């Protein structure tokens, strides 16, 4: 198994070295998040801010590319009949595989998030510690509009948290919809 993983890693590395197109993508937008909490009814979405930086690496002679990103995402939830918003902020690192057909693209891949804010209020609400690492999957798509030397990207994706972020009796998983606008700056 280790040899298979090593061979796959070497193959991907060779393809990245042969990359024909590299773009730097600063972006910002809105996140609409909620948490799925077991034994509770009434979770509602809350709006938050997201911003980040991605690098899109196109694979030679292919419509596929790999796009790692580093994003700040305001996640959390709002509870019906409660006037409080519960923010849980993350630095997220998704690694997306992107397929483009014309100006439209789809993307999907794993992500890992590190909780960097809002833990105290969430721990009081959960009555338990917050799991700082959150593993998940992101999937979505967008539109690439050529403007000047670069491309404006209008991106929308769904983030599905796989980690139980509460170390308490309730199971708590992050869910969210993220919409961003970015500008892809060609580097090569």
Q: Are 175 and 160 in contact (CB under 8 A)?
A: yes
**61-80 confidence digits (pLDDT tens):** 889 999 999 999 998 888 77
Cα three-residue angle 108-46-121, rounded to 5 degrees: 105
Instruction: Kindly indicate the confidence band of residue 38, based on its pLDDT and cuts at 50, 70 and 90.
Output: confident
Please provide the size of the chain in residues: 188
pTM of the model: 0.83
Tell me which H or E stretch contains 9: helix 2-17
Residue 69 has a pLDDT of 97
**79-133 confidence digits (pLDDT tens):** 777 767 788 899 999 999 999 999 999 999 999 999 998 878 777 777 788 889 9
Q: Mean pLDDT over all residues of the chain?
A: 87
Instruction: Kindly indicate the confidence band of residue 10, based on its pLDDT and cuts at 50, 70 and 90.
Output: low
In angstroms, what CA-CA distances link 66 with 135, 168, 173? Answer: 19, 36, 26
List domains and CATH numbers for the chain: 20-186 (2.40.160.20)
Q: Residue 156: CB partners within 8 Å, gap ≥ 6?
A: 140, 141, 142, 177, 178, 179, 180
* 12 backbone φψ class: left, alpha, beta (φ>0; ψ -120 to 50): alpha
């Amino acid at each position: 198994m280790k040899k298979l993983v090593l061979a796959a890693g070497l193959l991907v590395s060779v393809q990245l070295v042969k990359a024909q197109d590299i773009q730097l993508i600063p972006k910002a937008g809105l996140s609409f998040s909620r948490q799925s909490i077991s034994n509770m009814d009434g979770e509602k979405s809350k709006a938050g801010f997201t911003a980040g930086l991605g690098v899109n690496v196109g694979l030679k002679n292919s419509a596929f590319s790999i796009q790692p990103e580093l994003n700040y995402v305001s996640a959390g939830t709002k509870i019906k009949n409660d006037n409080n918003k519960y923010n849980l902020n993350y630095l997220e690192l998704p690694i997306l595989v992107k397929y483009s057909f014309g100006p439209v693209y789809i993307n999907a891949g794993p992500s890992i998030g590190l909780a960097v804010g809002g833990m105290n209020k969430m721990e009081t609400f959960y009555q338990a510690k917050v799991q700082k690492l959150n593993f998940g999957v992101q999937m979505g798509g967008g539109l690439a509009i050529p403007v000047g030397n670069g491309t404006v990207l209008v991106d929308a994706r769904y983030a599905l948290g796989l980690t139980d972020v509460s170390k308490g009796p309730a199971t708590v998983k992050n869910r969210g919809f993220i919409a961003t606008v970015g500008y892809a700056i060609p580097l090569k």
